[in-house]
Amino acid sequence: MAAADIAVKAPTRNPHHAAAPVHASRTAVLIVSTLAFTACFMVWMMFGVIGIPIRKALDLNATQFGLLTAMPVLTGSLIRVPLGIWTDKFGGRIVMAALMAAVIPAIWLMSYATAYWHFLVIGLFVGLAGGSFSVGTPYVARWFPKNRQGFAMGVYGAGNSGAAVNKFIAPALLVAFGWSMVPKVYAAVMLGVLVLFWLFSASDPSHRVPSQLSFTDQLKALKDPRVLKYCQYYSIVFGGYVALSLWMVQYYVGEYGLDIRVAALLAACFSLPGGVLRAVGGWLSDKYGAHSVTWWVMWVSWICLFLLSYPQTQFTVQTVHGPATFEIGLNVYGFTGLMFVLGIAWAFGKASVFKYISDDYPQNIGAISGIVGLAGGLGGFVLPILFGALLDITAVRSSAFMLLYGVVWVSLIWMYFTEVRCATLFGDAASRPTAHATTA
């Protein structure tokens, strides 16, 4: 019997007999959904590598390059809310499969683009792959009991490691065959993963949430201050992750003069832990609570970004023996080490933010996760453009980290006044997420 044919039934005479197919289905769903998300994220981050030769060929400035890399992120963000709603209504299996099938032609067409506007337009359609997060999150979560949802969503979210997979595969293809081969290979990979997902995923009609709410009604959830706060958190831990995943290869090439293959490998030191360790963040959030994990994530981010923000500096001091020149700046090893720590912190943070959501909105995970995912994705769209603009204006590459440092400050201040200070004044219960169901 195929996994897709397994139906979850209420226990009758022997509950253990019913538990076995349920457990098998949830495991299969988690594995193939994570694989599908990894492939989608790999495609979504494609411009982070192939954008470099395209930039040289088209003679783009930093702002134009930032827009090029950000275009797929825009549609992948905007589509997240409706995809979350459709997942609640129709089920994650059919929505995920339809999404992947719709993206494959656009990926293939990317290899035939020649003009700047071609890349921008096709990139919008390729970017639909980024919306897969809002499909898989509620789809996977509903297969697991509440005390394991954080871990399950963390495992699924580890598909963010597709950003690192892109950095391993794309440079090799680029050097051997040219950048145009990368989209063709990625289209074939996506087709194969789609077939595997359809064969081994499952559907449970009881997971669907009947709703007469419109798209506009769902957006009214933004009036909830908690949703706005989670959007702010996610704009840095996910939006920042996406932006830096797109930006780091060219940063290494420009700042340290590295070959694109070496630059991609070092950039993966940020992308890989930022994706894979999300499952650990989910486990920690289940055990210690979303607030505790997120609070420490923000402080670690603050420290790392403060150090990363400092530009390469040379200054001269007049001493009794004459002028003495000093240089301050991160070498490639120190820079990569800080990026590695930042990737780990943001992996934990991405999981902890969604633990907040599953705790506060258990009956509306799809819509709320779509809204928060939209905010994170828009952060990933806006930030690369701002990185490029700041670089063109200041000519200082570390200005990108200065911007992120400011965003983390906002999150820390917001969290302090709404959670930490409330816990101090009114007790720990005030800072813990409520477990009641809330509709948008």
Lowest mean pLDDT among 6-20, 202-216, 275-289: 6-20
Average pLDDT over residues 298-321: 91
pLDDT at residue 112, rounded to an integer: 93
pLDDT at residue 115, rounded to an integer: 93
Do 263 and 252 contact (CB within 8 A), yes or no?
Answer: yes
**Residues 128-156: pLDDT tens digits?**
998 898 888 888 888 888 778 777 887 88
Q: Which of the two residues, 270 and 279, has the higher pLDDT score?
A: 270
Query: CA-to-CA distance for 42 and 169, rounded, in angstroms?
Result: 10
11 in a structural domain:
no
Q: How confident is the model at residue 215 (pLDDT cuts 50, 70, 90)?
A: low
What integer best gives the mean pLDDT of the chain?
84
7 in a structural domain:
no
DSSP one-letter string for 279-335: HHHHHHHHHH-HHHHHHHHHHHHHHHHHHHHSPPEEEEEEETTEEEEEEE---HHHH
**Helix H or strand E segment including 64:** helix 62-78
**Residues 83-100: pLDDT tens digits?**
877 888 888 899 999 999
Q: What are phi and psi of 395, to 5 degrees?
A: 65, 20
SS3 helix, strand, coil % of the chain, rounded to 5? 80, 5, 15
Lowest mean pLDDT among 145-154, 161-170, 197-206, 247-256: 145-154
9 in a structural domain:
no
Q: Which domain holds residue 335?
A: 19-430
6 in a structural domain:
no
DSSP one-letter string for 377-435: HHHHHHHHHHHHHHHHHH--TTHHHHHHHHHHHHHHHHHIIIIIHHHHHH-GGGTSPP-
Tally of domains within the chain? 1
Average pLDDT over residues 262-275: 88
Task: Look up the CATH number of the domain holding residue 152.
Answer: 1.20.1250.20
pLDDT at residue 2, rounded to an integer: 42
Do 160 and 278 contact (CB within 8 A), yes or no?
Answer: yes
440 in a structural domain:
no
Q: How confident is the model at residue 217 (pLDDT cuts 50, 70, 90)?
A: low
Lowest mean pLDDT among 260-264, 283-287, 346-350, 406-410: 283-287
**Residues 337-386: pLDDT tens digits?**
999 999 999 999 988 988 888 787 777 776 787 788 788 888 989 999 99
3-state secondary structure of 259: coil
436 in a structural domain:
no
Buried-state track 235-260, b at ≥16 Cβ within 10 A, e below 16: bbbbbbbbbbbbbbbbbbbebeebeb
Indicate yes or no: pTM above 0.85: no
Average pLDDT over residues 187-201: 94
Average pLDDT over residues 321-349: 91
Nearest Cα to Cα of residue 405 among 274, 252, 299: 299
Average pLDDT over residues 98-111: 95
Q: Under 8 Å CB-to-CB from 148, ≥6 apart: which residues?
A: 286
76 in a structural domain:
yes
28 in a structural domain:
yes
Q: One-letter amino acid identity for 275?
A: G
